[in-house]
A and B are shown apart, each in its own frame.
Chain A
Amino acid sequence: MGRMVVRFLYQDAYVGSVLRQHAVAEQSTDNGLKHAEQKQMSDPPGWNLEEHELATVRRLAGDWIACETGIRSAAEVARILDEAGEKTLRLDASSLSRWDSALIAFVKMLRDSARTGRARAVQIDESGLPDAARRLLALAAAGTTEAASASVPHPSLTTRVGEAYFDAWSKTVAAAALVGETALRGTAATAHRTRTRGVDVLQCVREAGAGALSIVSIVNGLVGAILAFVGAVQLQRFGAGIYVADLVGIATVREMAAIGTAIVLAGRTGGAYAAQLATMQGNEEIDALKSLGIPVFDFLVLPRIAALVTMTPLLYLYGCAVGLFGGYIVSMATLDLTSASFLEELRGAVAGTQFAIGLTKSLAFGALVALTGCHIGLRAGRSAADVGRAATEAVVAGIVGVIALDAVFAICTSSLGI
């Protein structure tokens, strides 16, 4: 529903007074208010030119709403300034219906372009704009007096290589320091000389140990079964089906249970530690601990390391049991063996040294996963993306570290002849 309003346009006093009638259908009740009472089609914005003796008048008309009618481009602004030529450019907003930041953006672009890159700066007379727009422009101008930040210079190749080297070196040093600190503070903790709380250790133990039982069962059980299956098919050809017991036994106890459990824990718990510590970093919780003088290592990192170092060997033993059981089931199902003969062969194969090797490995793996998780978590940035990145890095580093450490163990044990 429109309301016909007769509007008058007054020419500037310099060129005498001429009355013109200008009828505009208006749907908002106040000048400058952009919120109509019902949805309407936008009037296309116009900036009609009128030449006068001393000034070029641009009559702004229609709706100037950023989301609906867009912003004027730099080319249009340049053309308007060119057409103003030597004269003052006067803006007249009497035909303007609705406006918002689009108008402010337009005038700001005019102002900026009028001064830069022109032989002679164009004078702009803004007295014809609505009062509210002029006040907002004043606010905008006051805010832009700060200089824009200088662009960062692009570093050369040698700088980048050098920085990468120093980065890698400091990371190695930090990792070594972490291992050393764990050893020192760990022994101190057992003598109750640190700020580690027993309740924190128990909480971490519960999450890392009991919480992982189901996934450890599934992974190790299935891996044991798969080993038995693959082995049975091959060994059956030589009539050596009974040696499946040896295969499953040695492979599970010496390698697969330890690696499988460690990788599962790296994914599950290493990532969780990194994400927890990274989020605490972002929430300034670490800062709060430091400012109170509570050592972060003792309070946050030691419980986690203690939990994984104690739980991983236990989970390994549990994984061995489940894996051997899975292998047993498959062997019984696919081969023509008696239960007693299988178990006897198994008992002979997995002598004490296999378990000892497996246990040592799982201890080392547990410490590695905890250390990488905590170290990467504490080093993380403070944004949401950084937390995700830290979790991913911790998981990848944990898994790669476990496999690498396993290779080292393999070399050591083979050279020791066990």
Chain B
Amino acid sequence: MVTPDGRASRRALLTGAGTALAGGTLALAGCGSAEIGKQAVKKTSARVQAKDIAVLNQALALERRTVAAYIAGMPLLTFSQRKAARQFLNEELEHTGELISLIKAAGGKAPPRADSYALGHPIDGPGVLAVLHSLESLQISRYLEWIPQLSPGPVRAAVASILTVDAQHLSMVRVLEGQVPVPGPFVTGSV
């Protein structure tokens, strides 16, 4: 079960090879949330769609800012930190793709990326990690504010599946910073 690559090992678990996973009864999740969300948002009224588009556009802007921070900060990280950051960057890019899909399904058009983002001026790895920490925290706190405003339940759930990954990123950034990775029972984005 345990392979030299922990990632492969977890994938194996999720695809049914795990010792703790009984076959046949559990469905793999991790895909399709945006599809379900897209179907749901298409069925809502124009007024609801417009409200959702406004929220999703804000979320997209924040995700793009975080993507920019990962790209800009990576050269200052150590090899092992960079390896993790590359993985998280790919996942943040996936988030932008999911949000754009939802915006389009609601009849909207994703706004263009900003020309530049104010990310501070970190000069070393710890400085970069501090920026990533604050951006992941900001995303979490904003998602917690925005998700209840989204109208179709499946869209809320689809966006929550992004929030959960940002919470995982935050824990791992905290690990890289030498901090307690899961400081409390409720993820608020405040620390």
Partners in one complex: no
